[in-house]
């Protein structure tokens, strides 16, 4: 009997890869504005800040889904403890999942998107945070097939700072014609993933985050695919996202094989999306060669 039970558990783990830890109802209607998905990996020093910024939103018209990607620290325990201590939950409730093994950002983002009930989908790293009016701002600017971009502020050594070059880069990109934006997106990614929320139906339409064998570059191909569709772009001016720049886990710029592997296959996938443009294809191949050159140094 014990052997059969052990076999059933292993079979469940293989088929599901994740287990539900918490499922708390919020008492709201089935029509939820926003799904906020937090992807967690070894983020115990940031998770309380991130969750507090979400659970204390001015508008509670959202659901929260958190996925812990087999962290080796106390990230999951801290998240569970904080959620359980809250008396007021968002309208859509809170769900927390744990991966049995490290699945990578793309796999977890895809899993979360499939679970999403909100009309809009927001992906957030566990070291980031939302301004208190973020959900309220989206609520007041809602539009069908929308992509919502907001200004970034930055955490550095526990202080809030401005990095104008990063915000200017996005602003300059948004001023371009759509065809020129696509050209840029085909060889570089000027958009911070944390600064964007997207219509859930749009993301499902483009099969977002299903970018095998790419594991941890979830946003680049997403933007290329989205910019080839019809959407309504909304700039949110009354809220902001706080992005952590002190976390070396999220900003590791070292040239290692896993990173170059991800970048290479992300570029190959983007090339396939743009086979009708020889110039873009040629430029992408040059960037692949450049990546391997830097790896060898």
- 208-241 pLDDT, tens per residue? 999 888 888 888 899 999 999 999 999 998 888 9
Q: Is the pLDDT of residue 79 over 60?
A: yes
Coil, helix or strand for 57? coil
pLDDT given for residue 291 in this prediction: 61
Residue 117 backbone phi and psi in degrees, to 5: -110, -15
The model's pTM: 0.86
Using pLDDT thresholds of 50, 70 and 90, give the confidence band for residue 3: very low
Q: Which DSSP helix (H) or strand (E) runs through 48?
A: helix 47-55
Q: Is the pLDDT of residue 8 over 50?
A: no
pLDDT given for residue 270 in this prediction: 78
Using pLDDT thresholds of 50, 70 and 90, give the confidence band for residue 248: low
Q: What percent of the chain has pLDDT over 90?
A: 55
DSSP code of 193? G
pLDDT given for residue 250 in this prediction: 42
Q: What angle do CA 57, 61, 65 make, to 5 degrees?
A: 80
pLDDT given for residue 273 in this prediction: 78
pLDDT given for residue 105 in this prediction: 92
Residues in the chain: 297
Q: Is the pLDDT of residue 77 over 50?
A: yes
Q: Which DSSP helix (H) or strand (E) runs through 22?
A: strand 18-24
Report the distance separating Cα 193 and Cα 136, nearest Å.
20
Which residues in 74-92 are b (16+ Cβ under 10 Å) and which e? ebbebbbeebeeeeebbbb
Question: Mean pLDDT in the chain?
Answer: 85
Which two structure tokens, joined as six digits, stand for 287? 């960037």
pLDDT greater at residue 68 or residue 254: 68
pLDDT given for residue 126 in this prediction: 95
| pLDDT tens for each residue of 90-144 | 999 999 999 988 899 999 999 999 999 999 999 999 999 999 999 999 999 999 9
pLDDT greater at residue 271 or residue 108: 108
* Residue 120 CB-half CA count within 13 A: 26
Coil, helix or strand for 208? coil
3-state helix, strand, coil in the chain (%, to 5): 40, 25, 35
Whether the CB-CB separation of 118 and 31 falls below 8 Å is answered with no
Using pLDDT thresholds of 50, 70 and 90, give the confidence band for residue 62: very high
Q: Which residues, in sequence order, are CB contacts of 225 under 8 Å at separation 6+? A: 206, 207, 208, 273
Q: Is the pLDDT of residue 149 over 60?
A: yes
Coil, helix or strand for 40? strand
Q: Pick from 61, 52, 101, 105: which is nearest to 81 by CA?
A: 52
Whether the CB-CB separation of 136 and 58 falls below 8 Å is answered with yes
């Amino acid at each position: 009997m014990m052997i059969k039970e052990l076999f059933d558990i292993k079979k469940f783990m293989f088929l599901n890869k994740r287990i539900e830890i918490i499922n708390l109802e919020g008492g709201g209607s089935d029509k939820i504005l926003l799904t906020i998905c937090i992807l967690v990996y070894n983020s115990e020093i940031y998770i309380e800040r991130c969750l507090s910024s979400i659970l204390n939103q001015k508008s509670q018209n959202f659901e929260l889904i958190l996925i812990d990607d087999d962290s080796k620290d106390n990230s999951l325990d801290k998240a569970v403890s904080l959620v359980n201590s809250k008396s007021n939950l968002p309208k859509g409730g809170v769900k927390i999942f744990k991966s049995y093994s490290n699945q990578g950002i793309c796999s977890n983002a895809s899993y979360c998107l499939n679970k999403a009930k909100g009309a809009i989908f927001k992906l957030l790293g566990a070291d980031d945070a939302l301004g208190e009016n973020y959900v309220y701002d989206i609520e007041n600017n809602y539009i069908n097939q929308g992509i919502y971009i907001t200004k970034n502020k930055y955490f550095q050594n526990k202080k809030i700072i401005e990095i104008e070059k990063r915000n200017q880069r996005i602003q300059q990109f948004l001023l371009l014609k759509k065809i020129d934006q696509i050209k840029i997106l085909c060889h570089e990614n000027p958009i911070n993933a944390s600064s964007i929320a997207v219509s859930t139906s749009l993301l499902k339409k483009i099969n977002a985050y299903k970018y095998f064998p790419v594991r941890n570059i979830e946003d680049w191909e997403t933007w290329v695919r989205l910019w080839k569709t019809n959407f309504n772009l909304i700039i949110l001016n009354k809220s902001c996202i706080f992005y952590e720049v002190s976390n070396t886990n999220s900003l590791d710029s070292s040239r290692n094989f896993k990173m170059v592997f991800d970048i290479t296959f992300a570029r190959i996938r983007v090339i396939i999306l743009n086979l009708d443009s020889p110039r873009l294809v040629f430029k992408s191949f040059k960037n692949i060669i450049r990546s391997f050159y830097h790896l060898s140094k």
